[in-house]
Amino acid sequence: GAVVSQHPSRVICKSGTSVKIECRSLDFQATTMFWYRQFPKQSLMLMATSNEGSKATYEQGVEKDKFLINHASLTLSTLTVTSAHPEDSSFYICSARQDGAAGQPQHFGDGTRLSIL
Amino acid sequence: AQSVTQLGSHVSVSEGALVLLRCNYSSSVPPYLFWYVQYPNQGLQLLLKYTTGATLVKGINGFEAEFKKSETSFHLTKPSAHMSDAAEYFCAVSPFTGGGNKLTFGTGTQLKVEL
């Protein structure tokens, strides 16, 4: 149980393109999902908290207009990197926290490798 | 604010040897504690978690961790390393109250298993 599916796994596109990444919780409901960015050989950096039915909460320094987040249902959150540039190339990972008791862990997708040419 | 320190960015053990990955946290109130494993080009997989109750928690793949409040530690161990254990391991904490259920990660420990 507690499977999170992230799609696509890899994207290569030209500079200026907008890229949408999907994160789905397959067998549980997730009011809250999270989007991370990971640079090579580093830990995960939280970008934003995605809340079903309301606006996402962005971490300091993350551009809201650059990284658009939509959480339209209890099982789906999307991250759109708008007008992507080479510096946006990175490994993006989503997670979903199962609704319920405190202390529930986050379950992670397999990540999306984004390469902007 | 809470923080996580993982001592040793790289740990190397022989196959069959004990694995010990260290994690210390800083928090005004004992948080929820997690260990995750990451294989190359993949997301994170939950190994185990501590919320309340028994301080020695067992996880998947033969791993276990012990919560020691007096030492503010949550070290990860496995009695006998296997080649398939080679991966990046992250310790993480989540606040007991508030904080929006956010995870704070350590910087990670790369485990290498040698023949």
pLDDT, tens digit (0-9, with 9 covering 90-100), for A45-86: 999 999 888 899 999 999 999 999 999 899 999 999 999 999
Q: How confident is the model at residue A40 (pLDDT cuts 50, 70, 90)?
A: confident
- The alpha-carbon gap from B110 to the nearest alpha carbon of chain A, in Å, equals 9
For the segment B50-89, what is each residue's pLDDT rounded down to a tens digit?
998 899 999 999 999 999 999 999 999 999 999 999 999 9
Q: How confident is the model at residue A98 (pLDDT cuts 50, 70, 90)?
A: confident
C-alpha–C-alpha distance, residues B63 and B67, integer Å: 14
Contact B49 A106 (CB under 8 A): no
Q: How confident is the model at residue B2 (pLDDT cuts 50, 70, 90)?
A: confident
Chain B CB within 8 Å of residue A28 CB = no
C-alpha–C-alpha distance, residues B76 and A113, integer Å: 29
The pLDDT value recorded for residue B66 is 97
C-alpha–C-alpha distance, residues B22 and B89, integer Å: 10
Mutate to test the interface with A, among B44, B93, B102 (most CBs of A within 10 A): B44
C-alpha–C-alpha distance, residues A97 and A108, integer Å: 9
Residue appearing with tokens 């990284």 = A67
- The alpha-carbon gap from A16 to the nearest alpha carbon of chain B, in Å, equals 25
Q: How confident is the model at residue B99 (pLDDT cuts 50, 70, 90)?
A: low
Contact A42 B32 (CB under 8 A): no
The pLDDT value recorded for residue B91 is 97
Give Cα separations from B57 to A30, A106, B64, B75, B84 (angstroms).
25, 17, 6, 11, 21
Closest partner residue to B49 (CB to CB) among A32, A34, A105 is: A105
The pLDDT value recorded for residue B28 is 78
B31 or B96, higher pLDDT: B31
Give Cα separations from A65 to A86, B7, B34 (angstroms).
17, 37, 32
- B interface with A, Cβ–Cβ < 8 A, is 32, 34, 36, 41-46, 49, 51-52, 90, 94, 96, 100-103, 105-108
